[in-house]
Structure 1
Amino acid sequence: MMAESGEANGKDEQGGGKEGESAEDGGLSDAQREVLERCLHALKHAKNDSHTLAALLLITRLCPASQLDQSTLRRIFEAVGLNLPARLLVTAIRGSSESSGLAPNELLSLGTALLAALSTDPDMAYKPQLLTTIPILLQILSNGLNQQKQENGNQAGEAKGSLKSQNSESSLAKNEQNGDDTSTQNGQSTTQSYSKIDEAIAADCYQVLYSVCALPLGPEQLLNRGAVRALCLAIEQNQILSCEKGTPLLGCLLSGKTKEKAWNKNPNELFRLFTKLTKDFTQASEKDQLEMCTKLVQFLPPVGSNLENEKLKDVISQIWGVLRPMLQSKLTPKQIGPVLVLGACLLDVCGWEPVGPPKLCCLLVNRACVEVRMGLEEPPGQQLSPETQHTLTGCYRIMEAAMEKACVTGAAPSAQSSVSGLSLQQSRQVLGVLQEAFSAVVYHLQQVDQSRYGDPFIFATFRSLCSWLAEETSCLKEEVIALLPFLIGYCRSHMSNDGEQMGLSDWMDQMSVSGERVGWTGKEPLRYLLPALCHLSAEDIPRRELLSLDTPQLLVGFLSESWTSMKEQSPPQRDSSLETACSALLNFTITEPQRVRSDPCFRVLETLLSDTLPVLMHKPSLLVLAANICTLGLMLGRLRTKTDSVDSSHHRLLSYSLRFLSGTLTPGSASTPATVSPAWDHCWDEVAELWRLSVQALGSCVRTQPWIISLIRDEGWLKHVLTTLGQSTAPPDEDTQNALEEALCALADQCLLCKQEINAAMQSDKGGLSCLTSLKRLAASK
């Protein structure tokens, strides 16, 4: 009787389902609603599962999930719950349908339809009972309906456990779809068959998966339940609706926060799929290739993936083989956009090598720059469409990559630059078109008011300009100086509103043209601007503008917040932006002594440095930052006078700076010079100049604040230097020698005891001290 009802209703669905549809709102017709109410009444008063199944079967056949409103769905849920559809799926998969009177396909159709209807309510889609059905749905989509029967002369034997617990991932091993697999277990023949599901069942399964994916943590839920592997298998085997619905769903899982995790868990499956899609891309018609560019972006491996490099390069070279004629042809802005975005993503993954000959590299950059100029040189107030913004964001990445590769010095002696195979003339041409494009970027940013600071596209435009300024500050100098109020104001605004820019946070998570997968903290704009600030603060005119904008105060706040975040890491990771911020502040300290003495933020900075250096000096991975902190602290200290009071933070900073500097040099021998200690050897190229500047600043501190001399003696720095040089033939190099000699001369000049100690050490006229001729004369004088 149940089976007959299912057949009858199946005919209703196929033959008469459209006849009673309501006209405009997509809801139910009066006839449907009348039957629905009777079914709901039957559900509420059902005495057993047979009555429940009959009513549900009528509902799912008569009323598609898309036509049921939320109140109706809730009434069904309250009457049935989610346990029943889950049981129906399990029963269908096991093939043990005798108790229900329905064939497995009918059970499956009923269970998936009910789940699809209930999942349209977000509250229900996140219930544990529904989530535990996901592995089963994925198995159905990837393998079809898997049934097991045992034959030992008694056809009624119950199938053994081929289905895992609902809380575990379903088995997704490759099996033939329409064949039988027979094995023997305990003397009994077990037949395992795989039958294709119909389109309605597949559509219902995908409806549930899409509903879960739309939840805030939905992609994680799908990923943790094996969705990526199952969908890859379904697409690979060309299962029903796998291309129409499975591929877009997988693209969603690979486009956001879950991208890297998905590739880490399923690298082989995803790379096979990526290879297949690439093959489809190369064999498609020209029109289809243009449409496929956007889809292909989603399936690119993340930047820095562990895939075998040569295989990845080979596949990406095939994609470039299709893109090259596109770049050379006349395409409309709408057509060229996806091509350029795909090109930008390919550059992120594999760089310039697979692009092709230098001419094509230049062509790619030129096309990107033309699009940027066309898009940004619009009259003020012109709104850019989302499609245009997306295209320009991709063009920015191409321009940034071009900056990294083509910014060779104009006076390079070689006629052929080693980067990307570009000749010197080609590099100059690339830099020329980049300058024109960045002129348009500057023009666009000049029109931006504070109300648009939260716009992700403005951040992308700002970030692109920062990449240019990090390499090139001599071009467009007047325009850049005029733009400084916006640049600093933009950074300051985000620093003070770090938790209020959720749009930017989401955009950072979903960037399609960058390998960065970090959340938004509010410090990102300043991080990108810091290299440019380091250059600009060294020049008089832009530095004066930066001072008028209270840039030092902004930098000190950035250092303070970043240090607080770094301390919370275990272990703390190197962050080069802190080092760059120190360099910019060092430029102000060296060139603007009066401002440093009067600006309160530098006192705050000195206290911060005194708290930071003791923690950093014993962490090898943060030695470069420690060198920056030490140098900046001593350079600030040299600006103090004899009349300035000595506070505890200043005393602590100088004390730890002396200890830090003492660990640098190791004595050589009677026949070898002093060397850099092993602890410093890995980063000496980065910190050598900072160390020398620190030693010179120490000499200046001795001349302005005589009390420091006793600290130098107490900390043993003088004794350490004299011993190290006395036991070696010479200092490590001439620059180090000059810096040490300057500091020792200051000590000898300001302190009689130091002078006598230095003179006694130099009496032997041997070792590295004998190289310091100016010090020798000073120490010997009366």
Structure 2
Amino acid sequence: MAEGTHAAKLDDPGSDSQHRGVERGEGEGVEQEKARLAIDGLSAAQREVLERCLHTLTHAKNDSHTLAALLLITRLCPAGQLDSVTLRRIFEAVGLSLPARLLVTAVRGSDSSGLPPEELLSLGTALLAALTTDPEMAAHPQLLATIPLLLGLLANGSKWSPEIQAQHQTRQGMEPDQPSHTNGKAESSQTGSEECTTENGASHFEVQLDEALAADCYQILFTVCALPQGPELLLSRGAIPSLCWALEKKQTLSHEKGLTLLGALLSGKTRDKAWRKHPKKLLSLLASVAQDFCQATDHTQLDMCAVVPQFLPSPSGTWTDADLKPKVVCMWAALRPILQAKLTPVQLGPVLVLSACLLDLCGWEPVGPPKFCCLLVNRACVEVRMGLEEPPGTELSPQLQQTLTACYRVMEAAMEQACSHQGEARQGDVQPQTAITGLSLQQSRQVLRVLEEAFSAVIYHLQQVDTSRYGDPFIFATFRSLCAWLAEETSCLKEEVTALLPFLIDYARSQLQGESPEKDLANWMSEMSVTGSSQGGAWTGKDALRYLLPALCHLSAEDAPRKVLLSVDTPALLVTFLTQAWGDLQAKGGAALVRDPSMETACSALLNFIVTEPECVGKDPCFKALEALLSDALPVLLHKPRLLVLAANLCTLGLMIGRLKPAPKAPVEAGQRRFFSTALRILRGALDSTSGPGPVRVSPAWEEWWDEAGELWRLGLQALGGCVKAQPWICTLLREEGWLSHTLSMLGSCSALPDPHTQAALEEALCAVALQCPLCRQDISTLVKCGANGALGSLGTLRKSLGTT
């Protein structure tokens, strides 16, 4: 193309277009000099020609001049060799409007430009690829507007048309899992470089999708993907179904570059959103990747171990066995001989990572026979010992950290099975059932032994950690793994664990108080498919303590660990956690309130401290803060059936504190009165007073939760008796709130209580009330003397205390 030819007429791409050209300023000569000096490797004559071309671009009077200058520049100096200053000058001269118009003109099949469509596409994509080497240009709205078109070219190749583009965009909004493809009408089987057909008056063209064109398209998409919001931008523009369709149809470079781009989109923060939006497409893609993995040769399989995890869904997804199990079974069949072979540490790492991901998805059942399961656990434990039992100060490489994190996940999956198996065996179960089918008692003991050795190394490593490393994601992974072990196994490594408690508490406190960076940890949680809490969702600083809470429940019940926990103000940490968690729960509001088991676990740990160390209640100011929290929270929970177990925990916790407090000298505080008033209503609601003449039943509201809340209710009744003795004013409240009349009426009308434990707890509370309050004693005596033959008549201890026997 030369300056004497007619001006090329390109279609306007719409609202995204803009006039090319910029105003020249006084600094133009300076910028040109910078560009001349910046381009290395060009001769003086080449630099002169380049400057003339750039001058032509800046002063072009029509598209013909612009295209001619661009073609000369690309032949003189490939885009990859142009410096950023020169690229910026090109962008300022032509903008993104021209390459966008080139692409639109090509796909519309217009012949007004005087150029064949394949040249328009080649030049447009090459220019965009060159311009996107500057990240600022890659984020430009005009470039982002071309993404659906580029994806369409990659997905449909030579069978692109405006109608297909419309179908593609419609299906992205209505049927995300449907690919954008032709309906088969008026398609040609010829393979020429260009062919035009007509369908209902619309022009179609076929252009060969050669490697250069595909490579430019992929380069643009990869550049956009590298932007901070790039994956989200590509996802919202239909990248997933288009790239999957390109792979399915084996389009040019789809396997070499399209699969890699899909892996990048599916392994980051957009993974869960992509799987929710395109489940069918991604399950089909996973099936294809799994098949390739299973059919690959040895060396290729080893390489693919590092790639396959990118295409696995999150374990928290709503997947059925039918969706995933066949694919997982296939991959385990290929992994077994690999894990049984001799591998270097570099080779073994990706294999263990893939194994951990598959375990997360489908558990132990598809893994293989018990002997292989034990081998997998053993290899993971050996890697942990070799990686962590290094001298203090040894830095672990990122690759080793990733491998060890995967090993932790294998160990966590194994410990629950081995520990539960061991526990069942102690109870005399000859053939205990576990998810590792056929695991013998001897194999279970072997697994426990190697796990203990591995966690000894974990403890050793954590002993070397100082506060400067609290923000390290690998330290969190190591901490989390040890917490999982302590939640299951409480008898091993007692002294080592007790000695490590100050670190564990300090680390959890620093995360809760936000003293260490959360960004890296949050990214790690997302990449490693770790949900931050029992409710899932984003990671927060409270999650470190959430993982530690089950262990604290066990350890706070034992003398030696409890003394250490008290020395590092663990009760105050638990109260702070409860306060923050309650604030988060309230922020969700109304119907959104959902159960948070970690709050219940924190209550259990605090209850251990109150029961075993009662003197702490009066000395530690955190218990005063806890009372204030209880008086605010309990009334809110009164009519929240989904949070009944939490309400029972808070109620019992407050009553256990109340029995240790002296009677108030001044008028009772409003908050204290509010708590006891609500506590009595909660206790009153557990048993159904309308049960009739038969045995009393648990009320419908409590029935679903009785296994968890029943023991708390009984403990609360016993604590209520202690509260009445310590604070006699509560007796008046018993009558005012109707607890006493309700209880007596129920006992008089029913024949028996649900179980002996419930009867004993209720009798203990009534005896304390009768002993402390004359009016209450009179009410109870009157009913007993009336000859009640119901459950009240079976309360021998109560009748004896009243002198009616």
Q: Fold-level match, TM-score > 0.5?
A: yes
Residue aligned with 1:522, SS: coil
Residues 708-728 of structure 1 deviation map (CA, whole Å, 9 limit, x = unaligned): 111111111111111122221
Residue aligned with 2:588, SS: coil
Of 441, 445, 451 in structure 1, the residue corresponding to residue 468 of structure 2 is 451
Shift of 1:382: 1.1
Change in 2 beyond 3 A, CA 1:60/1:614: farther
Shift of 1:706: 0.3
Distance 1:502 1:513 in 2: 15
Partner of 1:172: 180
Distance 2:691 2:646 in 1: 31
Shift of 1:341: 0.8
Partner of 1:15: none
1:676 maps to a residue whose letter is V
Q: Is 1:143 paired with 2:156?
A: yes
Partner of 1:681: 703
Q: How does 1:572-583 map to 2 (within 5 A)?
A: 572-583=593-604
Q: Larger deviation: 328-337 or 68-77? A: 68-77
Partner of 2:447: 430
Residues 225-256 of structure 1 deviation map (CA, whole Å, 9 limit, x = unaligned): 11011111111222112122111111111111
Distance 2:630 2:92 in 1: 63
Partner of 2:21: none
1:623 maps to a residue whose letter is L
Q: How does 1:538-549 map to 2 (within 5 A)?
A: 538-549=557-568
- Where structure 2 has 5 or more consecutive residues not aligned to the other structure, the ranges are 6-34, 173-178
Partner of 1:567: 586
Residues 672-702 of structure 1 deviation map (CA, whole Å, 9 limit, x = unaligned): 2111111111111111111111111111000
Shift of 1:427: 1.3
Q: Is 1:439 paired with 2:456?
A: yes
2:267–2:527 contact (8 Å) kept in structure 1: yes
Measured on the aligned residues, the alpha-carbon RMSD in Å equals 2.5
2:131–2:137 contact (8 Å) kept in structure 1: yes
Shift of 1:179: 2.9
Change in 2 beyond 3 A, CA 1:513/1:494: closer
Q: Larger deviation: 232-241 or 632-641? A: 232-241
Of 425, 428, 432 in structure 2, the residue corresponding to residue 413 of structure 1 is 428
TM-score between both structures, scaled by the size of structure 2: 0.89
Shift of 1:3: 12
Residue aligned with 2:124, SS: helix
Distance 1:311 1:502 in 2: 33
Of 294, 311, 314 in structure 2, the residue corresponding to residue 302 of structure 1 is 314
1:394–1:513 contact (8 Å) kept in structure 2: no
Q: Is 1:492 paired with 2:506?
A: no
1:667–1:673 contact (8 Å) kept in structure 2: no
Distance 1:339 1:51 in 2: 57
Q: Larger deviation: 760-769 or 428-437? A: 760-769
Q: Larger deviation: 173-182 or 664-673? A: 173-182
1:143–1:175 contact (8 Å) kept in structure 2: no
Q: How does 1:260-409 map to 2 (within 5 A)?
A: 260-408=272-420, 409=423
2:283–2:323 contact (8 Å) kept in structure 1: no
1:775 maps to a residue whose letter is L
Change in 2 beyond 3 A, CA 1:303/1:82: same
Distance 1:691 1:101 in 2: 86
2:443 maps to a residue whose letter is Q
Shift of 1:105: 1.0
Distance 1:354 1:32 in 2: 64
Shift of 1:65: 3.3
Residue aligned with 1:438, SS: helix
Q: Larger deviation: 664-673 or 689-698? A: 664-673
Distance 2:765 2:4 in 1: 101
Q: Larger deviation: 719-728 or 286-295? A: 719-728
Residues 441-466 of structure 1 deviation map (CA, whole Å, 9 limit, x = unaligned): 00111111111111111110010000
Of 756, 764, 767 in structure 1, the residue corresponding to residue 790 of structure 2 is 767
Q: Larger deviation: 526-535 or 261-270? A: 261-270
Q: Is 1:656 paired with 2:685?
A: no
Distance 1:664 1:431 in 2: 42
2:744–2:780 contact (8 Å) kept in structure 1: yes
Shift of 1:37: 2.1
Distance 1:738 1:127 in 2: 74
Q: Is 1:599 paired with 2:617?
A: no
Distance 2:742 2:301 in 1: 70
Change in 2 beyond 3 A, CA 1:324/1:295: same
- Where structure 1 has 5 or more consecutive residues not aligned to the other structure, the ranges are 6-21, 149-159
Shift of 1:25: 9.5
1:698–1:743 contact (8 Å) kept in structure 2: yes
1:415–1:423 contact (8 Å) kept in structure 2: no
Residue aligned with 1:216, SS: coil
TM-score between both structures, scaled by the size of structure 1: 0.92
2:159–2:182 contact (8 Å) kept in structure 1: no
2:470–2:516 contact (8 Å) kept in structure 1: no
Shift of 1:377: 0.7
1:147–1:194 contact (8 Å) kept in structure 2: yes
Identity of aligned residues (%): 60
Q: Larger deviation: 764-773 or 408-417? A: 408-417
Residue aligned with 2:601, SS: helix
Q: Is 1:532 paired with 2:551?
A: yes
Q: Is 1:637 paired with 2:645?
A: no
Residue aligned with 1:243, SS: helix
Partner of 1:482: 499
Residue aligned with 1:545, SS: helix
Distance 1:291 1:515 in 2: 31
Partner of 2:18: none
2:51 maps to a residue whose letter is E
Q: Larger deviation: 26-35 or 173-182? A: 173-182
Shift of 1:643: 4.9
Distance 2:159 2:659 in 1: 80
Q: Larger deviation: 581-590 or 269-278? A: 269-278
